[in-house]
Amino acid sequence: MGYSLDFNQSNYETKTLTLDNQTIEYRAFEKIVYVEYPVDVQFHTMNIYVPDAYFKGEAIGPYTSDRAPILLINTVGGYKPGEPGGPGQGRFGEANAAFFALKQGYVVAMPGVRGRSLQDDNGRNIGVAPAAIIDLKAAVRYLRHNRAVIPGDTEKIVSNGTSAGGALSSLLGATGNHQDYEPYLEKIGAAKERDDIFAASCYCPITNLEHADAAYEWLFHGLNDYKKKKIERVNGEIKKTPIEGTMSVDQITLSAELKRNFPPYLNSLGLKSSNGETLTLDESGKGSFQKHVQSFLIDSAKTALAKGEDLSELEWITINNGNVIDLDFGQFILFATRMKPPLAFDDIELKTPENELFGTASIKAQHFSAFAEEHTQVDGSLADATIIKMMNPMDYIGSSENVTSSHWRIRHGSVDRDTSLAIPIILATTLMNKGYNVDFTLPWGQGHGGDYDLDELFAWIDNIAL
Ligand code: DHB
């Protein structure tokens, strides 16, 4: 006998929380095991939060208990396990998305999600791909299974996540009900329900991993210095340690090879701009797709200017009569700077988070691209092709074999170098070309992060949900 999949309505605590001079009252249903056969009881649990008003028959703005959207928030970062979170303070002490979502009248569901580095008592890896996406799907199924008793509308589930969590959000949005995931869902005893969702909100999705190395070198080839900051909490304080380096001759050679691999991939997608022009790149990496990327940056600078930002010191931006009319792409790259040396994702020494993501129960880390496998320095093996596919939303968007969310909101900071700008742009353009409702921008000056524009996110959710 496994755990029950039936929601216990009487197992809650009523809570009041005040942050930033705002107060919310809600019922906290916590530590709910959401599958029959949890692999890890800490992570196979979900917290569900409901505005208290709904238990008094009251409305919050336009929403009532049965009409409220459900915001499904994952806390995954770095493809590590994500704790089942709740309303409270974010990384920098600010009130978090769950807090404001409850204030807005949404029901909030925060499932724990398995990730790389999670091991059982026998030292077997139990969070490697595709565990994280299986868990999010199982959480959706649990909510649907209990739709009669959990407040909120299960046809209005909106997923939210940042970075690796943003990638998982895009995967959840893209792959609804696909058979590929079924055996894994069955194994953990997920409810037998649909797992497609209404909308996906994705902040800086670190996705399309097997093409991300080529996309990175397409953008950054020629820039041989890299710098990043290691961010950690030490005694409650955020500590940022700069890590800087210059690429070796071998890395520069790899960069050139990878850059050459990007145009064939990009051209194979057959993407189109909003005015119907086919987006391509020539062998040197130049072409209409580069202009397409540039156009999103120009739009971003325009928005910043309209909000009153002073861009006059950036000489590579041409401003005429208060309007941004051009932006020098090469100068922009120098301004943004490179964060990672090649191979940015599928490391030839198997040292990245992504290599561990594609480990197995007994293998710590693997390659997930033919290029890295060919260049491996540590005799690394290649992950199973189906599992690589199951972690990439690109392979599912718009397929007749699954249901892709109708609504998408994707944000990637203009100076976020954790992945190439090409990656979110390919994702957003593919969705647009296939007729989905996509709200996509590269917020100006924004680095790697998420949930920085919750007012706008919630206005977008209200707009699609009502
Ligand atoms: C994250 C950041 C990365 O640079 C990466 O390669 C994978 C995940 C993250 O912040 O989740």
**Residue pair 366/354 in contact by the 8 Å Cβ criterion:** no
Distance 77 CA to ligand 1 centre (A): 6
CA distance 422 to 212: 9
CA distance 258 to 425: 19
Structure tokens at 82: 């994500």
Residue type, 257: E
CA distance 408 to 203: 11
**Residue pair 110/101 in contact by the 8 Å Cβ criterion:** no
* pLDDT for position 173: 99
- Residue 246, class by beta-carbon neighbours within 10 Å (0-12 exposed, 13-18 middle, 19+ buried)? exposed
- Taking the CA of residue 340 as reference, the ligand 1 atom at the shortest distance is 4
* pLDDT for 238 beyond 80: no
Q: Is the CB of 164 under 6 A from ligand 1?
A: yes
pLDDT digits (tens, 9 = 90+) for 71-127: 999 999 999 999 999 999 987 788 999 999 999 999 999 999 999 999 999 999 999
For β-strands 22-33 and 13-19, DSSP reports them as antiparallel
Distance 78 CA to ligand 1 centre (A): 4
pTM for this model (two decimals)? 0.98
Coil vs helix vs strand at 460? helix
Residue type, 407: H
pLDDT digits (tens, 9 = 90+) for 156-186: 999 999 999 999 999 999 999 999 999 999 9
Pocket test for ligand 1, best of 350, 418, 446 (most atoms within 8 A of CB): 418
CA distance 461 to 466: 8
Distance 347 CA to ligand 1 centre (A): 14
Please state whether 228 falls in left (phi above 0), alpha (psi between -120 and 50) or beta.
beta
Q: Is the CB of 166 under 6 A from ligand 1?
A: no
User: Which string of DSSP letters, residue by residue, matches 289-326?
Assistant: HHHHHHHHHHHHHHHHHHTT---TT-TTEEEETTEEEE
* pLDDT for position 232: 76
Average pLDDT, the chain: 97
* pLDDT for 132 beyond 80: yes
* pLDDT for position 230: 81
Structure tokens at 199: 């909308």
pLDDT digits (tens, 9 = 90+) for 5-48: 999 999 999 999 999 999 999 999 999 999 999 999 999 999 99
**Residue pair 135/114 in contact by the 8 Å Cβ criterion:** yes
- Reported in sequence order, the residue ranges of 114-212 that DSSP labels E, i.e. its strands, are 157-162, 199-203
CA distance 397 to 370: 23
For residue 448, the 8-state DSSP code is S
Measured in degrees and rounded to the nearest 5, phi and psi for residue 289 equal -65, -35
Q: Is the CB of 393 under 6 A from ligand 1?
A: no
Distance 31 CA to ligand 1 centre (A): 27
* pLDDT for 239 beyond 90: no
Protein residue with least CA distance to atom 1, ligand 1: 78
Task: Give the list of residues 6+ apart from residue 125 with CB closer than 8 angstroms, or none.
Answer: 116, 117, 118, 119, 359, 360, 361, 362, 363, 364
- Taking the CA of residue 166 as reference, the ligand 1 atom at the shortest distance is 11
Q: Is the CB of 353 under 6 A from ligand 1?
A: yes
Distance 449 CA to ligand 1 centre (A): 10
* pLDDT for 326 beyond 80: yes
Protein residue with least CA distance to atom 8, ligand 1: 78
CA distance 459 to 258: 40
CA distance 76 to 85: 10
pLDDT digits (tens, 9 = 90+) for 339-353: 999 999 999 999 999
Q: How confident is the model at residue 233 (pLDDT cuts 50, 70, 90)?
A: confident
What is the mean pLDDT of the segment spanning 217-227?
A: 97
CA distance 306 to 298: 12
Which of 329-360 are b and which e, b meaning 16 or more Cβ less than 10 Å from the residue's Cβ?
eeebbeebebbbbbbbbbbbebebbbbbbbbb
CA distance 81 to 223: 33
Pocket test for ligand 1, best of 74, 75, 79, 423 (most atoms within 8 A of CB): 79
Q: Is the CB of 206 under 6 A from ligand 1?
A: yes
Q: How confident is the model at residue 375 (pLDDT cuts 50, 70, 90)?
A: very high
Pocket test for ligand 1, best of 75, 116, 163 (most atoms within 8 A of CB): 163
- Taking the CA of residue 418 as reference, the ligand 1 atom at the shortest distance is 4
Q: Is the CB of 418 under 6 A from ligand 1?
A: yes
Tell which wins on pLDDT, 147 or 239: 147
Q: Is the CB of 343 under 6 A from ligand 1?
A: no
- Residue 48, class by beta-carbon neighbours within 10 Å (0-12 exposed, 13-18 middle, 19+ buried)? buried
Q: What is the ipTM of this complex?
A: 0.99
Q: Is the CB of 450 under 6 A from ligand 1?
A: no
Protein residue with least CA distance to atom 3, ligand 1: 418
- Reported in sequence order, the residue ranges of 176-236 that DSSP labels E, i.e. its strands, are 199-203, 225-234
- Taking the CA of residue 339 as reference, the ligand 1 atom at the shortest distance is 4
